[in-house]
Chains A and B, each alone.
Chain A
Amino acid sequence: MYHYNDFDTAFLAERNAQFRAQVARRIDGSLTEDEFKPLRLMNGLYLQLHAYMLRVAIPYGTLNGAQMRKLAEIAERWDKGYGHFTTRQNIQYNWPKLQDVPDILDALAEVGLHAIQTSGNTIRNVTADHFAGAAADEVEDPRPVAELLRQWSTDHPEFQFLPRKFKIAVSGSPVDRAVTKAHDIGLRMVRNDAGEPGFEVIVGGGLGRTPMIGKVIAPFLPKADLLPYVEAIVSVYNLLGRRDNKYKARIKITVHENGIERIRALVEDRFTAIKAQFAGFDQKLLSKLEASFAPPAFKTGNTKGYEAARLTNPAFASWSDTNLSAHKADGYAIVSISLKAHGATPGDATADQMRVMADLAETYAHDELRISHEQNVILPHVHKSDLPAIYAKLREAGLATANIGLVSDIIACPGMDYCALATARSIPIAQEIAERFDELKLEHDIGPLKIKISGCINACGHHHVGHIGILGLDRAGVENYQITLGGDGSEDAAIGERAGPGFSADEIIPAIERLVLGYLDLRDSADETFLQAYRRLGAAPFKAVLYPEQAKQDAA
């Protein structure tokens, strides 16, 4: 993985010193809140319901053991002993005190981490497929490109005051695990007819109050053109994007209002104008980055121990059925560590758990960890012979829940338990759904099902692309939950359709139970997933189980 050079280290030290001085001037009253707020946001510091919140960037979701251990230390020393991994592959601390934040940022800098551009109208942390560099189905590891974009976008003088925030996601696989079609720019690695790698460039996707699936602006962009082309897109948006209305300021609206053809023409013009300025420097840098992301030295060895453990330990067999994915190297697997124990807060890990994961990465997984947008942690490179030992350690730490991709592997934003923007709570709904389906012991029968919960219309919980989406609202001073159906964040991306009237906090868990049990009756076989059944049958039979009274009236 990428290690900071002297330039990165010096840049970060200078930024942290600047922010330390800004905090001091805020505390002594020299800066007003209006003056300080944009400065703190540029450094990832929010003020939420109960406390400040520091959002730390985890570039393209990649960490090593030392970095994870530092995140644990910060959680213990300056927070309440845990951290919250987010749908943007970041980590949030919910309880820092203002005067401690400069020390926290210095601690992060010791391991090459920061909180720059995790807020504000800038290019945010670039996200990537959490199986990058490991997936069996990959064209190329997308992380060198993601790191190139990180370096280019960090403190880019032209793009510090965009009309609105700007999110880029990169995937190296045909299977889209990075939700590229719901980003301002989505990059999907593909090969052309000559077999050369390049990108399908998608622009103008996004969730929030106006959800849109991104449109293809370039079906095949040669790899060498990537940086000038992305710069051209952001540059066109910077001038054309609306600054008169916050709710119409994202590039999805710019694309929608101007049409993809006009945007494409403007981007092509700008690209032609600036391409020569890059003069190959970006390609030299990229080839260096590619070297730093070279695959680790995979070991060889037999996997008999793994096979034997599967036969003798049913719990291990169940976990390995659910939480492992295909790796490109023989004898290897990708391990997804669930941060969704039934009844726990989705995405939260204690400092002790973080240290266990850091140890496992260092001992067994070539010192690599990934954070997924689904709020789980990945050990990307594990030889199968090490799986029984890893499982035992995870189990001791409460990290061996066998539910990846199942009904209790729920994405949930922090909601009104923490967030100042939220209109309702998300976490308790996720906890109760997971506990209920654990009681029913149906999780594995139900099979792949993505439930995603947002506590407001801004959709940090990706509810629009949940197979079942739940949106928490404030209806006349009471929490109310709307259900959407049929959303999909994959390469077949789709926005879910609203099922009907919302449910109260007491009604929503039984409603989800009716819906899922209804699906079990509706599916044509155990192999037909919830989403497949929904696509085959349409919304009507699902609405009928959600709203039985209405269905009775309609039938009468």
Chain B
Amino acid sequence: MPRAFTPKVVTANHLLEGDVIYQTPTGWTRDLAQAEVLEDEAHADLRLLEATQQRDVVVGAYLAEVEPTDAGPRPTHFREAFRMRGPSNYSHGKQAEL
């Protein structure tokens, strides 16, 4: 049996800034908590396709697994947690800017 689909968000890097962005129902955000959570696999694939087509805005869009919480989606893997936060050796990136 195929594995059950787990919730995802569409994430990418911004073309000009290079930083991490997440898809919302109407555009893009730098705050994962504001991202659109995709619970349905077919819908997720469609949203990823739409993101990929915005090639003058985003680079390298993909689906990242999240855990929905009352405060919005949270990353399930440490790589996504670092992307959301920034590096651990300096207070740079999202942890300093958001």
What is the interface of chain A, defined by CB distance below 8 A to chain B?
Answer: 26-29, 32-33, 47-52, 80, 94-99, 345, 348, 416-418, 425, 427-428, 431, 474, 477-479
Contacts and interface: CB of A to CB of B under 8 A. Distances in A.
17 contacts: A29-B56, A33-B59, A47-B13, A49-B20, A49-B83, A50-B18, A50-B86, A50-B87, A50-B93, A80-B90, A417-B88, A428-B88, A431-B89, A474-B78, A474-B79, A478-B78, A479-B78
Given A33-B55, A478-B78, A98 B16 contact: yes
A41 to B, nearest CB: 13
B17 interface: yes
B5 interface: no
A414 to B, nearest CB: 8
Nearest to B92: A80
B89 A49 contact: no
Interface residues of B, number: 25
A98 B15 contact: yes
Nearest to B77: A477
Contacts of B55: 29, 32-33
Interface in B1-48: 13, 15-20
Given A28-B56, A418-B87, A428-B88, A52 B82 contact: no
Nearest to B17: A97
Nearest to A424: B78
Contacts, number: 74
B83 A50 contact: yes
Nearest to A423: B79
A428 B79 CA distance: 15
Closest 4 CB pairs between A and B? A29-B56, A417-B87, A52-B18, A51-B18
A329 B82 CA distance: 49
Of A48, A417, A431, chain B has the most CB atoms within 10 Å of the CB of: A417
A47 B89 contact: no
Nearest to B65: A477
A51 B88 contact: no
A472 to B, nearest CB: 11
A27 B60 contact: no
Of A48, A50, A80, A348, chain B has the most CB atoms within 10 Å of the CB of: A50
A97 B16 contact: yes
Of B79, B89, B90, chain A has the most CB atoms within 10 Å of the CB of: B89
B13 A425 contact: no
Interface string B52-75: 000110011000000000000000
Nearest to A46: B18
Contacts of A98: 15-18
Contact of A51 (B17, B60, B76): B17
Contacts of A99: 16
